[in-house]
Amino acid sequence: MVKVTMKDGAVKEVEEGVSVLEFVKNFSNSLAKKALAAKIDRKTCDLTTPITTDSKLEILTFDDEDGRWALRHTASHILAQAIKRLYKDQNVMLAIGPAIDNGFYYDIDMERQLTESDLSDIEKEMKKIVKENLPLVRSELPRADAIKLFQEKGEKYKVELIEDLPEDATISLYTQGEFVDLCAGPHVVSTGKVKALKLQSVNGAYWRGNEKNKMLQRIYGTAFEKEDDLKNYLHMLEEAAKRDHRKLGKELDIFSLHEEGPGFPFFHPNGMIIRNELINYWREVHRRYGYQEIKTPMILNRALWERSGHWDHYKENMYFTVIDDVDYAVKPMNCPGGMLVYNTHPHSYREFPLRYCELGIVHRHELSGALHGLFRVRNFTQDDAHLYVTPNQIEEEIQRTINLFDEVYNTFHLKYTAELSTRPENSMGSDEIWEKSTQALQNALENRGLKYIINEGDGAFYGPKIDFHLEDSIGRTWQCGTIQLDMMLPEKFDLTYVGEDGEKHRPIMLHRVVYGSIERFIGILIENYAGAFPTWLSPVQVKILPITDKHADYAYELKKKMFEKNIRVEVDDRNEKTGYKIREAQVKKIPYALVVGDKEIEDNTVNVRRYGEKDSKTVSADEFIANILKEIEEKEDRISE
């Protein structure tokens, strides 16, 4: 017998060699039906995996990310099998077919150029395979035998993948019916588990992401356990398409992207208003929380980046230049420059926590294929802060930082979830430092009572971190804020402070961002609000619409009055019908359109039409101004009302 420790701490005994699925069936048929995969001692595996030693076991369902990935990975194999069945005469060769966030894809090489209309035929065949409920059976072969197998099948891409593995490697395969694929797994137990699927698009993709290689066809799809969940997801995608920040950014004249600078966004006057309002708010919040703002150079020499570790751990993402025969790098991060500022003065424990913040422009090299509007760019403004604390101040300062996050995110009515990211493979520093750092972040989360998940191996190379994922108005999540605990860079830069004992000590540093990237945060807000920004952020807050020319003087008097109170106001005095001007103000998502005619002039009133509302109302001009100033000051959110 072996002992199995469940996620909740319960310990159960089971015969050695029993599969995970058989084990679960012994105590919970309902869980066995929902189970998609498992983790044995934190390693994700199939439900058919035998339990052979005392182990920690976690059962994964569709509610777990790894459970979803197992189901969607199986969906990619179903896709490949369907293509093989349908296009036997097209010399189909399979490349790779992984699960990805929200779905899966498969890269294929075939004579026929697939179109969107072909996807429905493939999808029908996939659903037949699901109905067949084919078991997915894992097997293993020596490397040489696996190469021979796939050579016989004419699968040159699979052969290339295997040949890249060590000669003594054991190769795992998965078989479902007549279909065999090279795969490390894990998968669900049978194709019948993939009850709801949808193919979404077909695009080009270079083999192994290298533009020197052949262009393959990449078919994207998604899969769910339940048809209703799939329908809800597809509805969300339709809504997301309407909110696409690239489309709205152009329509609302916020920003543009140009081939002269791929990944380098251009902000227009409307975009600068939004940007500056976000920055003004950021500065106001940080002043209240005791931060001091600094500014560091954009280009610094190689010696600095070698000292920080970026030259060895981040070089492929950096841009370089040479000045006076010396290598320099354009900064991808603000922290090394911030530490030079720290070292310009001696410091005492009495100053701590010391909080420096910076709106630093950083540049990171992203592959051209990864660029995406404002979400993935090559230069952006990071709203950084570096906090220097003593060991006994760590948790209190993390709690204070989360308080700041709460205030900012609540302003935009954005909820969040937290992830604790642990040590990555390319990290630097000792096991002891990593354990202490990770435990400090975990303690802060648990003592606050904040629910979180652990994201293994996704920390920064210099320390663990807490990431904050924001949920927008249609249920999507975005990673924005982060808190990183760093005991290593202060060592590398020889940062010190004088403690109560009069001796020099090493400070602990917290890196943190709230917006993450101002550019990306603007993109998120465009989509969250569907372009209908709250009044305090709107580039134009009020549009005054005189009915005829004789009402224009009154409109301009109102404009002057509002402008003097810093309300962003315009007059549309074109010789157009009032209904047309109202509709145009709605299209531009202006919070308030004020129609003024004879009656409004006589009574010193305005007829107010609020964006998104059918009915209008008439109020005094002074009352309207007082109300909108209050709305702006309190940063009211139109989504929440």
CB 240 within 8 Å of CB 527:
yes
Q: Is the pLDDT of residue 641 over 60?
A: no
Instruction: Give the tens place of pLDDT for each residue, 269-297.
Output: 999 999 999 999 999 999 999 999 999 99
Q: Where are the domains of the chain?
A: 2-61, 66-241, 263-528, 542-640
CATH number of 66-241: 3.40.50.720, 3.40.250.10, 3.30.980.10, 3.30.70.890? 3.30.980.10
pLDDT band of 639, cuts 50, 70, 90: low
**Per-residue model confidence as pLDDT tens digits over 589-600:** 999 999 999 999
What is the CATH topology of the domain spanning 542-640?
Rossmann fold (3.40.50)
Token representation of residue 361 = 């422009």
As a whole number, mean pLDDT of residues 209-233 equals 93
Higher pLDDT, 479 or 581: 581
Residue 544 has pLDDT above 70, yes or no: yes
Mean pLDDT in residue range 381-399: 92
pLDDT in tens, 555-605: 999 999 999 999 999 999 999 999 999 999 999 999 999 999 999 999 999
- Do residues 495 and 519 lie in contact, with contact meaning Cβ atoms separated by under 8 Å? no
Pairwise CA distance, residues 567 & 559, whole Å: 9
Average pLDDT, the chain: 93
The model's pLDDT over 404-441, given as tens digits with 9 standing for 90+, comes to 999 999 999 998 999 998 888 877 777 887 888 888 88
Of the chain, the percentage scoring pLDDT greater than 70 comes to 99
CB burial of residue 313 (10 Å; 0-12, 13-18, 19+): middle
Which pLDDT band, with edges at 50, 70 and 90, does 638 fall under?
Answer: low
**CATH topology for the 2-61 domain:** Ubiquitin-like (UB roll) (3.10.20)
Residue with tokens 């999540």: 477
Average pLDDT over residues 538-561: 96
Average pLDDT over residues 222-251: 93
pLDDT in tens, 308-325: 889 988 889 999 999 999
Q: Is residue 111 over pLDDT 70? A: yes
Three-class DSSP category at 3: strand
For every residue of 412-423, DSSP letters joined together read TT-EEEEEEE--
pTM of the complete model: 0.79
Q: Of how many residues is the chain composed?
A: 641
Q: Do 2-61 and 66-241 have matching folds?
A: no
* Residue-wise pLDDT tens digits, 13-57: 889 999 999 999 988 889 999 999 999 998 999 999 999 999 999
pLDDT, residue 1, reads 86
Matching CATH number, 263-528, of 3.30.930.10, 3.40.50.2300, 2.40.50.140, 3.90.470.20: 3.30.930.10
Q: Can you read off the two tokens belonging to residue 169?
A: 């490697």
Give the pLDDT score at 640: 44
Residue 198 reports pLDDT greater than 70: yes
Which residues form the catalytic set? 335, 364, 382, 384, 386, 465, 511
